[in-house]
């Protein structure tokens, strides 16, 4: 008798399943399909030369350290550099508050591991980042879901929601949210931090896109508005240098630091020594500060979007259009996007979609949008009663 593997799986695997959307999106790897589906930065701007030199130098000068096991906390000089840099952006922290992780995705997983018992609630935005929902799902989380508008998470009912749902954590994406591209206003940020303080609920502030602002003014981070050590900050090199590094950081309150180091150790012992050392080499002379995100990431023809930064535009179509069905038609027309439903922890949002504009040339972006427009028109025509 073959082993019935499923009968052996732990309860926590119940909500781990492959999405059918991924199957459809596999075809988007074909060169003639214009994919607005990914979340990938533009590869032309990866600092290949800088990393080539940095790896060479690290191996020549400190090769035996770079290829050795190293501290779970992360590479000291890189943590120092991050603390200094975050300080310039208003986040008060020391190197001792910084834990280097394998991408922010690992940080989300560690947060689930440290805080969530099965059934514990996480307060999240509607919609929210799919990877976070997947991470929290794997710890059998439940959700308190808060609506958004153009100013980000709606905070007017937060006190009620926090009192009623008693979430363990608040997960917030204040800058150029994935998937909606929205940014939380200063007033909302202040209201969120104050409500969290009144109810003593920690906030996880996930901010991969804050530095990809193309226009307008930077807004203070939640961490910089927090004087009670209630905010855990997440940042990553994925969108400012390159995602293949798998290098990110957590800014942790003193009282949490040791527990997060302990949660990382059994996962991977530490993040790649050589990747951290080479990244430090690349960053130490201010390279990241010289990056011109505007030219690097934002195709000039994409002005049709209202996003002031990030990688995504969010679209809501008329009720009755199911973007999962639309995707099948769109792929036939050789353009792809991500249906929005997966970003809703409550599985609503059937009429929404996320478009990525950073990984195609301006010309192809335009052509893709044109094809998509055609597909939407046809679906609308096919569902006249609900139009
Ligand atoms: N958080 C958000 C909101 C993201 O969009 C992403 C990447 N798409 C991540 C976390 C994970 O980033 P990484 O693991 O590459 O640092």
Digit-coded pLDDT (tens) for 132-158? 999 999 999 999 999 999 999 999 999
Please choose, from the candidates 251, 275, 210, the residue with its C-alpha nearest in 3D space to the C-alpha of residue 66. 275
Mean pLDDT of all residues in 327-333: 90
Digit-coded pLDDT (tens) for 100-144? 999 999 999 999 999 999 999 999 999 999 999 999 999 999 999
Count of C-beta atoms within a 10 Å radius of residue 199 = 16
* Ligand 1 atom, smallest distance to 243 CA: 15
Q: Is the CB of 39 under 6 A from ligand 1?
A: yes
Mean pLDDT of all residues in 227-231: 95
Mean pLDDT of all residues in 49-78: 97
* Ligand 1 atom, smallest distance to 177 CA: 3
Q: Is the CB of 111 under 6 A from ligand 1?
A: no
Tell the residue number behind the tokens 């940080």, with chain if given: 107
Check pLDDT > 90 for residue 42.
no
pLDDT (0 to 100) of residue 296? 37
Residue 216 contacts residue 249 (beta carbons within 8 Å): no
* Span from the CA of 68 to the centroid of ligand 1 (angstroms): 27
Digit-coded pLDDT (tens) for 55-67? 999 999 999 999 9
Mean pLDDT of all residues in 348-361: 85
Check pLDDT > 60 for residue 298.
no
Check pLDDT > 60 for residue 291.
no
Please choose, from the candidates 354, 230, 214, 351, the residue with its C-alpha nearest in 3D space to the C-alpha of residue 293. 214
Mean pLDDT of the chain: 88
Separation between Cα atoms, residue 107 and residue 130, nearest integer Å:
14
Please choose, from the candidates 220, 234, 226, 175, the residue with its C-alpha nearest in 3D space to the C-alpha of residue 201. 226
Separation between Cα atoms, residue 229 and residue 263, nearest integer Å:
20
Residue 84 contacts residue 249 (beta carbons within 8 Å): no
Give the rounded distance of the alpha carbon of 255 from its chain centre: 25
Mean pLDDT of all residues in 164-174: 98
pLDDT (0 to 100) of residue 51? 96
> Which of these ranges, 59-73, 153-167, 341-355, has the smallest mean pLDDT?
341-355
pLDDT (0 to 100) of residue 373? 87
pTM: 0.87
Q: Is the CB of 173 under 6 A from ligand 1?
A: yes
pLDDT (0 to 100) of residue 295? 34
* Span from the CA of 234 to the centroid of ligand 1 (angstroms): 9
pLDDT (0 to 100) of residue 369? 86
Q: How confident is the model at residue 364 (pLDDT cuts 50, 70, 90)?
A: confident
Identify the residue whose C-alpha is closest to ligand 1 atom 14. 103
* Ligand 1 atom, smallest distance to 248 CA: 16
Please choose, from the candidates 296, 293, 295, the residue with its C-alpha nearest in 3D space to the C-alpha of residue 213. 293
* Peptide bond preceding 197 in cis form (omega within 30 of 0): no
Please choose, from the candidates 209, 287, 281, 292, the residue with its C-alpha nearest in 3D space to the C-alpha of residue 243. 209
Three-state SS letters, the chain: CCCCHHHHCCHHHHHCCCCHHHHHHHHHHCCCCEECCCCCCCHHHCCHHHHHHHHHHHHHHHHHHHCCCCCCCCCHHHHHHHHHHHHHCCCCCCHHHEEEECHHHHHHHHHHHHHCCCCCEEEEEECCCHHHHHHHHCCCCEEEEEEEECCEECCCCHHHHHHHHCCCEEEECCCCCCCCCCCCCHHHHHHHHHHHHHHCCCEEEECCCCCCECCCCCCCCCHHHCCCCCEEEEEECCCCCCHHHCCEEEECCHHHHHHHHHHHHHHHCCCCHHHHHHHHHHHCCCHHHHCCHHHHHCCHHHHHCCCCECCEEEEECCCCCCHHHHHHHHHHCCEECEEHHHHCCCCCCCCEEEEECCCCCHHHHHHHHHHHHHHHHHHHHHCHHHC
Residue 176 contacts residue 210 (beta carbons within 8 Å): yes
Residue 261 contacts residue 99 (beta carbons within 8 Å): yes
* Peptide bond preceding 306 in cis form (omega within 30 of 0): no
Identify the residue whose C-alpha is closest to ligand 1 atom 8. 39
Tell the residue number behind the tokens 């335009």, with chain if given: 366
- Residue 296 neighbours by CB under 8 Å, 6+ apart: 42, 45
Q: Is the CB of 129 under 6 A from ligand 1?
A: yes
Q: How confident is the model at residue 307 (pLDDT cuts 50, 70, 90)?
A: low
pLDDT (0 to 100) of residue 20? 67
- Residue 138 neighbours by CB under 8 Å, 6+ apart: 12, 13, 15, 16, 109, 112
């Amino acid at each position: 008798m073959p082993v019935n593997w499923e009968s052996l799986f732990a309860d926590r695997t119940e909500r781990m399943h492959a999405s059918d959307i991924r199957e459809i999106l596999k075809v988007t790897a074909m060169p003639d399909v214009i994919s607005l589906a990914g979340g990938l930065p533009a590869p032309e701007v990866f600092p290949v030369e800088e990393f080539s030199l940095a790896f060479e130098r690290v191996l020549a000068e400190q090769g035996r350290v770079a290829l050795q096991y190293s501290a779970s906390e992360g590479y000291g000089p890189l943590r120092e550099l991050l603390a200094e840099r975050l300080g310039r952006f208003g986040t008060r922290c020391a190197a001792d508050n910084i834990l280097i992780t394998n991408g922010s995705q690992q940080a989300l997983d560690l947060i689930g591991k440290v805080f969530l018992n099965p059934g514990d609630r996480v307060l999240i935005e509607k919609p929210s980042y799919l990877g976070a929902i997947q991470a929290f799902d794997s710890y059998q989380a439940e959700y308190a879901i808060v609506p958004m508008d153009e100013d980000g998470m709606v905070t007017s009912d937060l006190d009620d929601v926090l009192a009623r749902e008693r979430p363990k954590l608040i997960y917030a994406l204040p800058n150029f949210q994935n998937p909606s591209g929205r940014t939380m206003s200063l007033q909302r940020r202040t209201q969120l931090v104050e409500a969290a303080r009144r109810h003593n609920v920690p906030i996880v502030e996930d901010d991969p896109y804050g530095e990809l602002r193309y226009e307008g003014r930077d807004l203070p981070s939640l961490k910089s508005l927090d004087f009670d050590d209630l905010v855990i900050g997440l940042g990553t090199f994925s969108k400012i240098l390159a995602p293949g590094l798998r290098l990110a950081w957590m800014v942790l309150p003193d009282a949490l630091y040791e527990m997060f180091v302990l949660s990382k150790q059994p996962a991977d012992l530490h993040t790649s020594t050589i990747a951290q050392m080479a990244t430090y080499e690349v960053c130490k002379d201010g390279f990241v500060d010289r990056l011109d995100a505007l030219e690097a990431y934002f195709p000039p023809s994409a002005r049709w979007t209202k996003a002031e930064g990030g990688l995504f535009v969010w679209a809501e179509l008329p009720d009755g259009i199911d973007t999962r069905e639309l995707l099948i038609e769109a792929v036939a027309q050789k353009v792809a996007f991500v249906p929005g439903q997966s970003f809703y922890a409550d599985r609503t949002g059937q009429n929404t979609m996320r478009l990525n504009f950073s990984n195609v040339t301006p010309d192809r972006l335009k052509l893709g949008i044109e094809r998509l427009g055609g597909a939407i028109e046809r679906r609308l025509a096919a569902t006249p009663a609900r139009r």
